[in-house]
Amino acid sequence: RKEVEQDPGPFNVPEGATVAFNCTYSNSASQSFFWYRQDCRKEPKLLMSVYSSGNEDGRFTAQLNRASQYISLLIRDSKLSDSATYLCVVRGGYNQGGKLIFGQGTELSVKP
């Protein structure tokens, strides 16, 4: 089983749609969680951190369920500029040296 697994893509949605990405992680000792965004052949950029209480940044909402080892990202009112690959990232526990592990990414394509 992969350490971090995401929904296989791509997701093709119209402008204005709501889209949800899911991610699961295998190590219950994982410390912290993030969503990154990557544009084609560019370095990934931090989109938001994910907290157990859930957090929202404009049209983006992230949720963490530690019991189920599950992370989600919801994008409301999709824009053309949201087209990118979304990466779920997990910081491993102390037994893993705290390294950051990426999921394989889910590609989003927002169409006019």
The reply to whether 64 sits near other proteins by the rule CB under 8 A is no
Single-letter amino acid, residue 93: G
- How far, in whole angstroms, is CA 35 from its chain's centroid? 4
The least CB distance from residue 100 to other proteins, in Å, is 6
Report the residue from 54, 65, 98, 111 that binds other proteins according to the rule CB under 8 A: 98
Q: How far apart are CA 98 and CA 77, in angstroms?
A: 35
**Cα Rg of the chain, angstroms:** 14
Q: Is position 53 an interface residue for other proteins (rule: CB under 8 A)?
A: no
What are the residues whose beta carbons fall under 8 Å from the beta carbon of 91, sequence distance 6 or more? Answer: 30, 31, 32, 33, 34, 98, 99, 100, 101
Nearer to other proteins, 17 or 101 (CB): 101
Tell me whether residue 74 or residue 101 sits nearer to other proteins (CB atom): 101
Question: What minimum distance in Å lies between the beta carbon of 57 and other proteins?
Answer: 14
Check residue 44 for interaction with other proteins (CB under 8 A): yes
